[in-house]
Amino acid sequence: MAEPRIRISVEGDVATITVARPEKANAFDIDMLKELSAACDAVEANAAVRVAILTGEGKAFSAGGDIRAWAGMEASEFGHAWVRFGHRVFERLATLRMPLIAAVNGHALGGGLELAAAADIRIAETQVKIGLPEAGLGMVPGWSGTQRLVKRFGAQPVRRMLLGGEVLTAVEAQTLGIVDQVVDTGAAVEAAKAYAARIAARGPAATEVSKLMIAVANGEDNGAAVEALGSILVAKTGDLKEGVAAFTGKRPAEFKGEW
């Protein structure tokens, strides 16, 4: 079997997801998108994990979508099998139950920036360049480059990168709020681990719920976030346990409205 190109390692309460295709600057193809989706499921299912880190193997973070993976597609296939599928996978990443830190160890351009934007915190190395070059290729961002990025960073930086073709340094991106911390070359992963320890020391339930509440306030994933919050609350009540017990016991439920 081929080596996985999305790798997971867990140290204590921190999981690290590594995009591992260094010979192609960690560019994604369809199979890698599927692997990333499965990695999200695996990390989220591990009850011990409180924080996740996302990074790239080698000197690259991610070059985004591999042009060879989609260049030969017909318009309909490109829109559905590539853009919509990739969008769903990145949305899955952005809505992990635990905080996600991007250790941006290389350039984050196009889909690579969309990947980094799915994280809650971004720590970039000083040599990193950030931008949205899609319009120069006659295309538009497809993995939430005009949606999540605008919600999280504001419209103007996105206009500058997408319409003007500006490429930002890590320091410039930090002044615009796109990057939260800039570190020396080679130091992103260790800095991310230090920040992860800081998060993991806080209340896990409060941290998870706070992430959902922030998403609602920012206009992201409102429906799913509200239903998740409501479901968690109701699941903690005696009514849910009584309702299940009554159903399985084939008897009328005796709800007490206990919170």
Q: Is residue 156 part of a domain?
A: yes
Residues 220 and 149 occupy one common structural domain: no
CATH number of the domain residue 108 falls in: 3.90.226.10
DSSP state of 219: T
Q: Is residue 217 part of a domain?
A: yes
Residues 58 and 116 occupy one common structural domain: yes
Q: Is residue 1 part of a domain?
A: no
Q: Please write down the long-range contacts of 47-50, taking CB distance under 8 Å and 24 or more positions apart.
A: 48/10, 48/12, 48/13, 49/10, 49/13, 49/14, 49/15, 49/98, 50/13, 50/14, 50/98, 50/199, 50/200, 50/204, 50/207
Residues 62 and 166 occupy one common structural domain: yes
The model's pLDDT over 208-256, given as tens digits with 9 standing for 90+, comes to 999 999 998 998 877 777 888 888 788 788 888 888 888 899 989 888 8
Residues designated catalytic: 114, 134
Domain hosting 132: range is 6-200
pTM of this prediction? 0.91
Q: How confident is the model at residue 17 (pLDDT cuts 50, 70, 90)?
A: very high
| pLDDT (0 to 100) of residue 164 | 96
Residues 208 and 141 occupy one common structural domain: no
219: left (phi over 0), alpha (psi -120 to 50) or beta: left
Q: Is residue 257 part of a domain?
A: no
Q: Is residue 82 part of a domain?
A: yes
Residues 209 and 149 occupy one common structural domain: no
Q: Which of 55-69, 192-206, 235-249 has the lowest mean pLDDT?
A: 235-249
Residues 61 and 157 occupy one common structural domain: yes
Residues 117 and 99 occupy one common structural domain: yes
Q: Assess contact for 43 and 17: CB atoms under 8 A.
A: yes
Averaged pLDDT for residues 43-62: 96
Residues 230 and 138 occupy one common structural domain: no
The model's pLDDT over 71-104, given as tens digits with 9 standing for 90+, comes to 888 888 888 888 899 999 999 999 999 999 999 9
Residues 83 and 66 occupy one common structural domain: yes
Q: Please write down the long-range contacts of 161-164, taking CB distance under 8 Å and 24 or more positions apart.
A: 161/113, 161/130, 161/131, 161/132, 162/132, 162/134, 162/135, 163/135
Residues 174 and 209 occupy one common structural domain: no
Q: Is residue 36 part of a domain?
A: yes
Task: Count how many domains the chain has.
Answer: 2
Residues 238 and 118 occupy one common structural domain: no
Q: Is residue 109 part of a domain?
A: yes
Q: Is residue 255 part of a domain?
A: no
Instruction: Quote the Cα angle for 43-126-139, to 5°.
Output: 70
Residues 161 and 141 occupy one common structural domain: yes
| pLDDT (0 to 100) of residue 158 | 97
